[in-house]
Structure 1
């Protein structure tokens, strides 16, 4: 069977020979994608597109009903000490002062107090009430106008120190919390770049070599963001998609460049000329990048099968950024190396500090890299290969031990508790929820009729309220809003529980299964609790499909790439083990609370419901980077005639510097997300960082070589009935390998 042409080598060779054309095409592509994206703008998904089931139907009716986008606000007025109640003159003066102060700003309307004909809610002990109002104008821009109102409420608080007077709501939370979170993301992005540059500088020992991967990754991110703006008009995306793209794009973009440049430098160190070194790097590391990129894309594509708009948007964005990073690495990087390859090793002098290359500093010295081999990793490999059974038992046992807590993984929706840190408004929301359970997380019942203001319909709404309250699972505040056409009524009703617990879920089921069929048949229920329930139901039904899709296609890709049934199966199992261990770390840290003081958070006892699946597809794809890169080097050595054991040792020690650097970059980038104020992103950052660290050390340095040593030539087993699979090159096509060496053992 003839050897198939190495696509990466062909593309890289053309790029190196036509370097100016390759650079101009890439620059034009980045500029065009960025310009076009800015011109059309990104189409963010509508509210209903992120929902599932009954919640989606309810939210779609609301979105299409023509409701004015209103930012609702409340002021909590509460007795701090003593026995003052709503009926006391001092309490009444405070409430009246709040109303007068906020109306004086000219920014509010529809103010309701407990003393109005349509009173705002009051607790049973009469010591807490709410002043409810709406911000004037479009709710989407209310945060820009809410500061005078916040100042007015703060003034009333100073005038009434015996009472608690605090504001919360859509506009104030967007201003106070949204600004803080935006600053968090900016800080994380600002940390990621210098950390990445620092690690690359240590890896290469030269400034130019460190800058090139970051520059390539950032141009890939810019172009992918522009492409996302175009595709988002076909499939709308969530606002967080851009942050996820930055996270993934920086990690894979730098890693792919790192794989490529390290191999080119290695070949140059062996005395190859620039052109030959690039050809070999393209044929080897370039091919590994191609396989890795396709595997990551396949894993990300699994999110399309969830049927959830947020996941589908994440898939859309991450696929685009990985694709552009992969294409950039295979095309423009060889051109850059051809143009400035000799200058990559230029020394960098800063004052009295000399940062030089060729093993004087950086990981190559730390890892003891000489002649392309790492002495440190060689020292690790010797006992692993000498005692493979013990190594498998110890490393496997450690990962299984880490994975065991994952059996207790419990998920929940995002609530105000997701916000970590000293945010006064978050405490206000919690006080409101304590005083009026379910007020912050109400159930929203939507009914549609020819005219929802007719006596017949209003009587049904009153009957619904009476029966819902009678169940003991619903409570004030109760509010009904009618759209301008009077065809839709949006009923907001407080429910028991905190919005994510069993009590809240039971209350929603009671409304859906008992109260609504008896009073408002055909009505739909949404809200945070109902939305979380519907999300979990949808995800639970789709999980087997997503897992099966990702695992099956990854298996096929590895089988075709390495022509080995054993390699493909083992890669899947090792990746699943590292993902399970990462889940266990998540449970230990964020459910059990180990490390709360270190990371500065308070456990909610659950993991955000979308995080586990997101981590699975991301981790499964990214962990394949190292696996494919190392296996490609092992297979290359094996195809050159080395024994399997020698090829394993050579492959791992010769890739030690690049894998260590790549892993550190990923861990550092992901770890910056653990510094954010939202617990969800802390979970994502810790989960990704832990998994990559586990994968690049325990799995790749111990389990992979130990299992390959135990299996020997059976690593390359391929059944005869799969002999039709193409024979792909793992090295340079100009150095032919006898065909009979390609599988050493055929069934």
Structure 2
């Protein structure tokens, strides 16, 4: 591995113009493909194998044109104080708005108004659209396409109709998924990049060296995002996919470049010519980048075990962006180093490079032992038990709130109170009851063994008697009469425990319903689908953890040729992810520091958040494990004692690991300003996880554990050692060969 990457680094350095041109050409090609891509990004939410999904598929088959997957908008009307909507003036104003909604866009499938005798299309028959007190009513707009496919003209027509209604003196609010905003990163990401640039400048002391990681990371992310845009319509990628890829791609792209550029500078300081230094940097730090990237890819691709297509696609898209970041680091970085030469070093250092090269290796190593990293290692090694116990207890305390974790998919009730969607949600609950925000849909399928209408009537009788049911509407029959739909309105809100209990109760009565109706009765609707997703995600966490942990263990076993180090890495990851989940619960569910972080509404944690956090944090945690411990392993294989190897690893890599962690934290923190709640939560969670993993686990718990284990940390059974391939990630074979004078291959380098 080391020799292969060494040769690749030298090749890219010598053929720098060709390599740089190839990457620019790829960016242009993918950019043109993205610009020419037809169709908006769209990802219908499906959960194969669940009851709710089977019912949705049945509705789509038996009720064509029902727009089961189409966007909907609920337009809420409230009369002025002390008035009713049934007065002639108010009723006329409502009818005018309903008329505007019908004619506002060709994407409108149907509009059900409170005074026109039509139905809401929620799955049943006649649905009450006017509250009993006459003060609140609503209209339901059903669209032919999903929310992401609605045009700006359609959305503007919806907003204009509501605005015209307000001009008449009515209160008009809009709910439903038709106004779902396209998630954006927000201005915080620009601030994050500015902080990243500052950290790079402080770390390298050179504008050229600081610019390389930023330029290459942005290029890699641009290629990844353009690829997602080009394939978005074909693969039905969700609108959050690009933001997730941007978040992960920026963080790892900058980090990977940072480590290679840092090692290149170190090799220059050791007296190697620029081309040889680039090869050696790639043969050592580049090997760590390959395996660090591989662990991230494994973690993200492992999301496929959940069997939710949306998550699988998002994970694979983000993994592809990481692959691009690794390829950029292995080829474009050494090529750009060929253009930069010695200019990656500070000016003062460049002037003294030849004098530094003439100094003895012992003197150079002695200076490294005096650095901040070496002093921190000495502090940990002097009291490993205290550091280990303090670190573990601190993480355990932060993890305590995770025991109160509540998960749900967000709806309009989780939006800030000042949004029109939240106002519509509250109005609907006030006028009709909380269950109207999340009605259940029952499908009744006799499968040719009876009459659907008769079976539906019997099902209504059984379901109406269940506790927690506020209303059950008459059945709606399919055009062929072979299937019926019934709308069940719970007495509780969509995310209330009572609603979940009602869904469970109906499903437990499936046998009774079958006996009473002679038909198969399935429960679906967005509320039931959300419940099924939460159950699927909860059940998928253990096998997902087992899969990624096993694969990562194998990867790290090969990398470090040790049984203990991979196990220790997995335990450290578990501590990090539990502590970060605890902090997320405290902020987003309990509201601690919510005003500081711009959290306007607390509530259950997004159901997809924990498993995404686990996957991404696992990959990033292994990054720092590989970068830091590989340098310790390198010193140990060169003959250093275990404690001296720990000190050497910190002396060489602590500063750059610290810079990498600060960069990742700033990148993730920038996404806290996102308009998408999932991205905001994930950005915050990943930032906290990197903070805890890098500075508590990898910088404190890991060296303390290694110090206590001594040589046992690097133990590997002889039989296993004979079977495992020796990939030489430490670059030992590079030390056995003399450095080649790059100036002999390229005379222009002699002038650098």
Q: Are positions 1:157 and 2:166 aligned together?
A: yes
Distance in 2 (alpha carbons) for counterparts of 1:8 and 1:430: 60
Name 2:725's counterpart in structure 1. Answer: 726
Name 1:697's counterpart in structure 2. Answer: 695
Distance in 1 (alpha carbons) for counterparts of 2:35 and 2:60: 26
Aligned partners of 1:592 and 1:603 also within 8 Å? no
How far 1:491 sits from its partner (Å)?
Answer: 4.2
1:500 aligned counterpart, secondary structure:
coil
Name 2:357's counterpart in structure 1. Answer: none
Distance in 1 (alpha carbons) for counterparts of 2:341 and 2:132: 77
Distance in 1 (alpha carbons) for counterparts of 2:452 and 2:507: 18
Distance in 2 (alpha carbons) for counterparts of 1:235 and 1:415: 25
Give the gaps of 5 or more residues in structure 2: 120-125, 354-364, 738-752
Aligned partners of 1:112 and 1:133 also within 8 Å? yes
Shift in alpha-carbon separation, 1:271–1:142, aligned structure 2, 3 A? closer
Aligned partners of 1:446 and 1:525 also within 8 Å? yes
Q: Which moved more, 1:235-244 or 1:305-314?
A: 235-244
Distance in 2 (alpha carbons) for counterparts of 1:450 and 1:227: 45
Aligned partners of 1:439 and 1:476 also within 8 Å? no
Name 2:208's counterpart in structure 1. Answer: 208
**Pairs within 5 Å for 1:223-372:** 223-228=223-228, 236-345=236-345, 371-372=367-368
Distance in 2 (alpha carbons) for counterparts of 1:685 and 1:358: 42
Q: Deviations over 1:52-85 (max 9, x none)?
A: 5112212233445542656544332335644x45
Name 1:363's counterpart in structure 2. Answer: none
Aligned partners of 1:23 and 1:332 also within 8 Å? yes
Name 1:103's counterpart in structure 2. Answer: 99
Aligned partners of 1:418 and 1:678 also within 8 Å? no
Q: Once superposed, what is the RMSD of the aligned Cα atoms? A: 3.5
Q: Are positions 1:591 and 2:598 aligned together?
A: no
Name 1:121's counterpart in structure 2. Answer: 128
Shift in alpha-carbon separation, 1:621–1:428, aligned structure 2, 3 A? same
Aligned partners of 2:41 and 2:229 also within 8 Å? no
How far 1:32 sits from its partner (Å)?
Answer: 3.7
Q: Which moved more, 1:257-266 or 1:702-711?
A: 702-711
Aligned partners of 2:576 and 2:693 also within 8 Å? yes
Q: Among residues 408, 422, 425, which one is paired with 1:429 in the alignment?
A: 425
**Pairs within 5 Å for 1:415-454:** 415-420=411-416, 422-436=418-432, 437-447=434-444
Distance in 2 (alpha carbons) for counterparts of 1:241 and 1:40: 16
Distance in 1 (alpha carbons) for counterparts of 2:248 and 2:351: 29
Aligned partners of 1:205 and 1:356 also within 8 Å? no
Aligned residues: 704
Name 1:741's counterpart in structure 2. Answer: none
How far 1:586 sits from its partner (Å)?
Answer: 1.7
Q: Among residues 4, 10, 13, which one is paired with 2:10 in the alignment?
A: 13
Q: Among residues 478, 490, 495, which one is paired with 2:490 in the alignment?
A: 495
2:568 aligned counterpart, secondary structure:
helix
Shift in alpha-carbon separation, 1:137–1:413, aligned structure 2, 3 A? closer
Q: Among residues 658, 669, 672, which one is paired with 2:670 in the alignment?
A: 672
Distance in 2 (alpha carbons) for counterparts of 1:203 and 1:358: 19
Distance in 2 (alpha carbons) for counterparts of 1:370 and 1:67: 77
Aligned partners of 1:439 and 1:494 also within 8 Å? yes
Shift in alpha-carbon separation, 1:188–1:419, aligned structure 2, 3 A? farther
How far 1:434 sits from its partner (Å)?
Answer: 3.7
Distance in 1 (alpha carbons) for counterparts of 2:577 and 2:549: 13
Name 2:404's counterpart in structure 1. Answer: 408
How far 1:619 sits from its partner (Å)?
Answer: 0.1
Aligned partners of 1:444 and 1:492 also within 8 Å? yes
Q: Which moved more, 1:415-424 or 1:312-321?
A: 415-424
2:128 aligned counterpart, secondary structure:
coil
2:137 aligned counterpart, secondary structure:
strand
Name 1:54's counterpart in structure 2. Answer: 51
Q: Deviations over 1:166-191 (max 9, x none)?
A: 343443x23xxx1xx54x42435444
How far 1:103 sits from its partner (Å)?
Answer: 1.6
Shift in alpha-carbon separation, 1:374–1:232, aligned structure 2, 3 A? farther
Shift in alpha-carbon separation, 1:732–1:637, aligned structure 2, 3 A? same
How far 1:294 sits from its partner (Å)?
Answer: 1.0
Q: Deviations over 1:5-57 (max 9, x none)?
A: 54332322332233233333333444444444555568966535355511221
Q: Deviations over 1:333-372 (max 9, x none)?
A: 111112223333477xxxxxx999999xxxxxxxxx9955
Shift in alpha-carbon separation, 1:696–1:34, aligned structure 2, 3 A? same
Q: Among residues 501, 505, 511, which one is paired with 2:500 in the alignment?
A: 505
How far 1:143 sits from its partner (Å)?
Answer: 5.3
How far 1:624 sits from its partner (Å)?
Answer: 1.0
Name 1:600's counterpart in structure 2. Answer: 598
Q: Deviations over 1:366-403 (max 9, x none)?
A: xxx99556733333332211111111111121112222
Name 1:536's counterpart in structure 2. Answer: 534
Q: Which moved more, 1:283-292 or 1:375-384?
A: 375-384
Name 2:746's counterpart in structure 1. Answer: none
Name 2:657's counterpart in structure 1. Answer: 659
How far 1:487 sits from its partner (Å)?
Answer: 6.7
1:728 aligned counterpart, secondary structure:
coil
Distance in 2 (alpha carbons) for counterparts of 1:474 and 1:682: 35
Shift in alpha-carbon separation, 1:146–1:606, aligned structure 2, 3 A? closer
Aligned partners of 1:102 and 1:149 also within 8 Å? no
Q: Are positions 1:22 and 2:19 aligned together?
A: yes
Shift in alpha-carbon separation, 1:271–1:554, aligned structure 2, 3 A? same
1:510 aligned counterpart, secondary structure:
helix
How far 1:438 sits from its partner (Å)?
Answer: 2.1
1:718 aligned counterpart, secondary structure:
coil
Shift in alpha-carbon separation, 1:497–1:117, aligned structure 2, 3 A? closer
Shift in alpha-carbon separation, 1:722–1:528, aligned structure 2, 3 A? same
Q: Which moved more, 1:613-622 or 1:205-214?
A: 205-214
Distance in 2 (alpha carbons) for counterparts of 1:688 and 1:521: 48
Name 1:647's counterpart in structure 2. Answer: 645
Shift in alpha-carbon separation, 1:692–1:156, aligned structure 2, 3 A? same
Aligned partners of 1:559 and 1:568 also within 8 Å? yes
Distance in 2 (alpha carbons) for counterparts of 1:148 and 1:340: 55
Aligned partners of 2:186 and 2:675 also within 8 Å? no
Distance in 1 (alpha carbons) for counterparts of 2:368 and 2:22: 34
2:187 aligned counterpart, secondary structure:
helix
Aligned partners of 2:561 and 2:714 also within 8 Å? yes
How far 1:300 sits from its partner (Å)?
Answer: 1.5
Q: Are positions 1:381 and 2:377 aligned together?
A: yes
Q: Deviations over 1:646-704 (max 9, x none)?
A: 22112113212211221111111111222234443332122111110011111122112
2:436 aligned counterpart, secondary structure:
coil
How far 1:477 sits from its partner (Å)?
Answer: 8.2
Shift in alpha-carbon separation, 1:75–1:606, aligned structure 2, 3 A? closer
How far 1:329 sits from its partner (Å)?
Answer: 0.7
Q: Are positions 1:130 and 2:137 aligned together?
A: yes
**Pairs within 5 Å for 1:539-554:** 539-554=537-552
1:67 aligned counterpart, secondary structure:
coil
Distance in 2 (alpha carbons) for counterparts of 1:657 and 1:500: 46
Distance in 2 (alpha carbons) for counterparts of 1:484 and 1:29: 52
How far 1:615 sits from its partner (Å)?
Answer: 0.5
Aligned partners of 2:79 and 2:136 also within 8 Å? no
Aligned partners of 2:225 and 2:242 also within 8 Å? yes
